[in-house]
């Protein structure tokens, strides 16, 4: 299988699992930002560099097959452990908690305002 096909497949998997958009592995990894751990960014660079080297006949010999396999294995292992549905659920819960915080803050502020005006005397 060609490196370009591997990187495209990895980009599609990363886009699906991390819920980001982009064309190609480098762009998807860039948009993933903090969702992609720092230790894995080097693996992404390894795959992108190998795909670029494969396109040029003289640079094809520079590809380190072990490093590419290690990078692909590490990225697949990380992406398989991600759960997009659970991430959506956590996002919803964070949104709900933010709304609850605002409502509670407004109620407490209203209570102290009414207490200051003497409404409860």
Based on the domain organization, do 67 and 106 belong to the same domain?
Answer: no
> Which residue range is the domain that position 117 belongs to?
83-121
**pLDDT for the residue numbered 1:** 66
Asked if 73 and 88 sit in the same domain, the reply is no
64 & 115 share domain: no
> Do 88 and 45 share a structural domain?
no
Number of domains within the chain: 2
Question: Looking at residue 59, what is its pLDDT?
Answer: 83
Cα(75)–Cα(10) distance, rounded to whole angstroms? 8
Residues 121 and 98 in one domain: yes
pTM metric for this prediction: 0.74
**DSSP assignment string, the chain:** --HHHHHHHHHHHHHHHHT---SSHHHHHHHHGGGS-HHHHHHHHHHHHHHHHHHSTTTGGG--HHHHHHHHHHHHHHHHH--HHHHHHHHHHHHHHHHHHHHHHHHHHHHHHHHHTTTT-
Statement to judge: residues 102 and 51 lie in one domain: no
Considering the domain architecture, whether residues 92 and 108 belong to the same structural domain is answered as yes
Same domain, 47 and 17: yes
Same domain, 78 and 92: no
Tell whether 20 and 58 lie within a shared domain: yes
In this structure, the answer to whether residues 99 and 48 fall within a common structural domain is no
Q: Per residue of the chain (121 residues), give pLDDT as tens.
A: 688 888 999 999 999 999 999 989 999 999 998 999 999 999 999 999 998 888 888 888 888 889 999 999 999 999 999 999 999 999 999 999 999 999 999 999 999 999 999 988 7
The verdict on 18 and 50 lying in the same domain is yes
């Amino acid at each position: 299988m060609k490196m370009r096909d591997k990187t495209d497949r990895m980009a599609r998997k990363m886009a699906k699992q991390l819920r980001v958009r982009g064309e190609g592995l480098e762009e998807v990894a860039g948009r993933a930002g903090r969702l992609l751990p720092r230790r894995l960014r080097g693996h992404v660079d390894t795959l992108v560099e190998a795909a670029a080297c494969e396109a040029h006949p003289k640079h094809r010999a520079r590809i380190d097959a072990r490093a590419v396999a290690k990078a692909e294995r590490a990225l697949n292992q990380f992406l398989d452990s991600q759960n997009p549905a659970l991430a959506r659920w956590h996002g919803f819960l964070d949104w709900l908690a933010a709304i609850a915080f605002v409502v509670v803050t407004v109620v407490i502020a209203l209570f102290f305002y009414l207490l200051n005006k003497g409404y409860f005397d």
